[in-house]
Structure 1
Amino acid sequence: MLILSLSPLRSDPRVLKQIDLFRRRYRVATCGFGPAPDGVADHIELDRAMPSWPRDPRRLLLRRYVDVYWGIAAVAEARRQLRGRDFDAVLANDANTLPLALSLAPARGVHADLHEFAPKEHFNKPAWRALVAPYVRWLCRTYLPQAASVTTVSEGIAEQYRKDFGVAAGVVTNAAPYADKEPRPTQLPIRLIYSSAGQRYRKIENIMEAMRTAPGHVELDLIVMPNEPAYVAELEELGRSLPRVRFRDPVPYTKLVDTVAEYDVSVSVIPPTNFNLAHALPNKFFEAVQARTGLVIGPSPAMHALLERHDLGAVTRDFSAEALREVLDSLTPESVDAWKRNAHQAARELSSEHQNLGWESAIAALLDGR
């Protein structure tokens, strides 16, 4: 089978989980940016510098969408390198790989795994909303019904694909692999960790500002990826005025749970600045469970439901710095220890080994005729 993703495969957590799941059962080839992931039988490497989304405003404006798609540099190069290869099945990650996957005509079909609700991925950007969103809707409308099966990351996003495109998508969350850990007793100061992509629309400054007037028995470390370097530099400058806030260097995905386990509470307050963030059920939620830390989240529906079901932490009243500070005021070692114990109880159920059954059954239906 081919696992296809126009992303840096060695640092894409969701794709790495797919590779780890299937490489022991099938002969897995991969195609994506950067060098081969560990354990695959074959790899088609694409240059990281190649665009994976359209940069052709004239054709987008004219709605020449077929030309737009096959003119994308990464798509064109992948098509060239994959020409003449035969696959039994293709696992296509995200909508931007679907036409390419289907063009390969795999003998048993294509499974689509959608990491976001693609038509609203960058809906907060006017140019993207005007030019690219209609193209992505065309992509989904035309190609999603041709996939043998579809999965996505949360119930809210699955429901939107059903409403807009009539596609029944299963849900495979961004759960982390099970970690054999024990909860660590909480002591003062209570140590908080926040890890995130460094993107302005995530409003990371609100997390930091909550620490300005937070009680003295809490400290915050941040791991922020340099997605928008100028924004990350602003955050680091803000951090200089906050003595109980520190930045840590990013760590590889394989070491993230161990890193989070050094802390007592993971903060996952994600303001709903776009559709996908409003329905977020992110990696960091599940990494905290495997690390046996407590959670402080915003009132995001998907996270809220899971957190309440297992009593894993606290929910802020809104997404403001003040609301987060109110929760930080209430933290005690005893309350955090209770959350850690509940995370330990829920760790197997909320692990990727349990959640990945959605991928297993979909691919088995293609390759094993089940």
Structure 2
Amino acid sequence: MMPSSEAAVSSDTKPPLLIISYSPIARDARVLRQIELFQGRYDLTTVGFGPAAPGVGQHHEIHVHVGLSRRIRGYAEAALLRLKLYRLMYWSDPLVRATRRALRLYRPERILANDIYTVPLALHLAPDTTHTDLHEYYPGLHDDSAQWRRLRQPYLTWLVEKYAPRAASATTVGEEIADRYHQHGVHAAVVVNAPERKGFTPGAVSSPIRLVHAGAALPTRKIEKMMRAVAESTADIELSVLLTPNTPAYVSKLEALALELGPRVRMIPPVAHENLLQTLNSFDVGIHVLPPTVTNQALALPNKFFDFVQARLGIIIGPTPGMARLINEHDLGTVTSGFEVEDIRATLDALTAARVSEWKRAADRASEVLSSATQLPVWAKAIDALSAPH
């Protein structure tokens, strides 16, 4: 969606824009929003994994060889990190080298660089006309691991502090993460992960009340705690869990747990991203109690929160500040007192159809302000401000 205050550039005079993301671009919801926003006003070139997304003029698919070379690279990285040879670590990275090869004949005038790993390369190619969009707080990505804190955290902090402040502008996904980046000298505006507003209406509350959790299967998220809380609750509820198979062994563990817990908890197959909101709309309450096992989870304001709003669901979350702030501001649902099974169960025990119905109506009222329509102008202003070098 293009902000109404900005006129689209005609197809004959569209300036070029390079979007780099080390992700499967055609399935990356945030990058897809960037592409949808800019395809009518810029001649788009993308670099990333997998096939091109619709609306892109040219796409460079990055391939990195695996096998023995990956093992050798692992040993090399361990040595480089221990010796703090961070510059060599970055520029010898196979991803960076593959990207440089893909763009060897391309001279970008302006770049939208997604996540910190693309920023040094983007600044090398377009030192004065790069915008960086930081999807995560990288120094807190896996800080539950002592080895990661010892080796990777200093490297990522170096990347952030050396390169991100040099970008012409920056954005990130939430106020809490923006505050953390400010401590590293990065002044980032906020574009939350909200989808386009959908025309759903709040459905009648089911009996039993139908809860849903949808997202990545990551062990740090402790999804089993929500499942156990539902199974132990005295409320008339059931839970469906839709997970992408990020960690197959963890999915298998949860499938076994669902069978053990009984019929009120079930695993159902994930759906394609374009069908997710329609699927969610058939439920009553979205639940996402995300324990702060790593800093990034403590700061989270994820896609699924806004997906729940657009699907017109009530929302139950843990006391994660970014999500709790919006829950309370818009009366969208409730916040558990903590992240443990007993905290979640206490909240579930108090569920009633009347409360859930109120939350669903509140989601409908908030669906415009918590949609991409209020967010995309931030990106539009930042990219439009990048003037091509002379």
* Greater displacement, 134-143 / 291-300: 134-143
* Greater displacement, 213-222 / 285-294: 213-222
Correspondence list, 1:232-311, <5 A: 232-242=251-261, 243-311=263-331
Q: State the distance in 2 between where 1:367 and 1:225 align.
A: 40
* Counterparts in 2 of 1:205 and 1:49: CA distance versus 1, 3 Å: farther
Aligned to 1:333: 353
Give 1:367 deviation, angstroms. Answer: 4.7
The one-character-per-residue Cα deviations of 1:181-240 (angstroms, maximum 9, x if unpaired) are: 111111211100001211111111101110221235201000112111111111111111
Correspondence list, 1:53-202, <5 A: 56-105=77-126, 109-163=129-183, 165-202=184-221
Aligned to 2:13: none
The one-character-per-residue Cα deviations of 1:299-341 (angstroms, maximum 9, x if unpaired) are: 1111011111100001111011111111111111111111111
Q: What TM-score do you get using the length of structure 1 for normalisation? A: 0.95
- Identity over aligned residues, as a percent? 45
The one-character-per-residue Cα deviations of 1:79-136 (angstroms, maximum 9, x if unpaired) are: 1111120222100011010011111126x60000001111111111222211111111
Task: Give the letter aligned to residue 23 of structure 2.
Answer: S
SS in 2 for 1:240: helix
Q: State the distance in 1 between where 2:348 and 2:255 align.
A: 22
* Greater displacement, 209-218 / 45-54: 45-54
CA contact (8 A) 2:64 2:94 kept: no
* Counterparts in 2 of 1:350 and 1:48: CA distance versus 1, 3 Å: farther
Mark the runs of 5 or more structure 2 residues left unpaired by the alignment: 1-16, 67-71
Aligned to 1:45: 61
CA contact (8 A) 2:231 2:265 kept: no
CA contact (8 A) 2:314 2:332 kept: yes
Aligned to 2:52: 36
Residue 28 of structure 2 corresponds to residue 12 of structure 1: yes
SS in 1 for 2:212: strand
What RMSD in Å do the two structures reach over aligned CA positions?
Answer: 1.9
Q: State the distance in 1 between where 2:187 and 2:278 align.
A: 36
Give 1:71 deviation, angstroms. Answer: 1.6
Q: State the distance in 2 between where 1:154 and 1:247 align.
A: 30
Equivalences, count: 367
Q: 2:223 aligns with which of 204, 225, 232?
A: 204
* Counterparts in 2 of 1:53 and 1:222: CA distance versus 1, 3 Å: farther
CA contact (8 A) 2:316 2:336 kept: yes
SS in 2 for 1:80: helix
Aligned to 1:354: 374
* Counterparts in 2 of 1:292 and 1:55: CA distance versus 1, 3 Å: farther
Give 1:52 deviation, angstroms. Answer: 11
Q: State the distance in 1 between where 2:207 and 2:74 align.
A: 47
Q: State the distance in 1 between where 2:20 and 2:74 align.
A: 15
Task: Give the letter aligned to residue 279 of structure 2.
Answer: T
SS in 2 for 1:366: coil
Aligned to 1:26: 42
Q: State the distance in 2 between where 1:252 and 1:42 align.
A: 24
Q: State the distance in 2 between where 1:310 and 1:350 align.
A: 10
Q: State the distance in 2 between where 1:55 and 1:289 align.
A: 45
* Counterparts in 2 of 1:258 and 1:367: CA distance versus 1, 3 Å: farther
SS in 2 for 1:266: strand
* Counterparts in 2 of 1:66 and 1:274: CA distance versus 1, 3 Å: same
SS in 2 for 1:158: helix
Give 1:18 deviation, angstroms. Answer: 0.8
Task: Give the letter aligned to residue 86 of structure 1.
Answer: R
SS in 1 for 2:231: coil
* Counterparts in 2 of 1:55 and 1:339: CA distance versus 1, 3 Å: farther
Runs of 4+ in 1 over 3 A off after TM superposition: 48-55
Give 1:264 deviation, angstroms. Answer: 0.3
Aligned to 2:3: none
SS in 2 for 1:85: coil
Aligned to 2:6: none
SS in 2 for 1:29: strand
SS in 2 for 1:133: helix
